[in-house]
Each structure stands twice: as structure tokens, then as C-alpha cells.
Amino acid sequence: MKNRVKELRENNSITQDKLGEMVGVSRITIISLEKGKYNPSIMLAYKIAKIFNLTIEEVFLFEG
């Protein structure tokens, strides 16, 4: 699953550490998300989307 986490994080001047703190995960988890190596739980996807005032679908791009 592709996502816009890195793009949104950088556009908002948020570090990987800070985003991890904000959603309750480690920096390593954020790195894995950004590289597409980890698909988030629905709760984590919701928390990340909420930080950027977007929907889950606007952050995480589901491909069929």
C-alpha cells in the first residue's frame, strides 16, 4: 500500500521522531511506513490522518 506520510510530514516540518510521539509508535515504525514496508493498523492510519486533517484514504492509497 502506498502512502503520503513522508510528503505530508515534510510539508508540515514534522520529524519522524515527533510524528511517532504524536501517534504512539517508534521512529522505526514511521520509517517503515514511509518506505512502504509496513501497513498500519486501522487505528494508526486514523491517528496519522487526523494529525494532517485528512481522511485515511487521502493519506493511504489502496491499490487493487
Full-model pTM: 0.92
Q: Which pLDDT tens digit goes with each residue over 9-63? A: 999 999 999 999 999 999 999 999 999 999 999 999 999 999 999 999 999 998 7
User: CA dihedral in degrees (20, 16, 19, 57; nearest 10)?
Assistant: -100
Mean pLDDT of the chain: 96
Give the pLDDT confidence score for residue 62 in this predicted structure: 81
Q: What is the DSSP letter of 37?
A: S
Give the pLDDT confidence score for residue 47 in this predicted structure: 98
What are the residue boundaries of the structural domains of the chain, listed by start?
2-61
Note the CATH architecture for domain 2-61: Orthogonal Bundle (1.10)
**Confidence at 64, pLDDT banded by 50, 70, 90:** low
Question: Which residues lie across from 61 on neighbouring strands?
Answer: 2
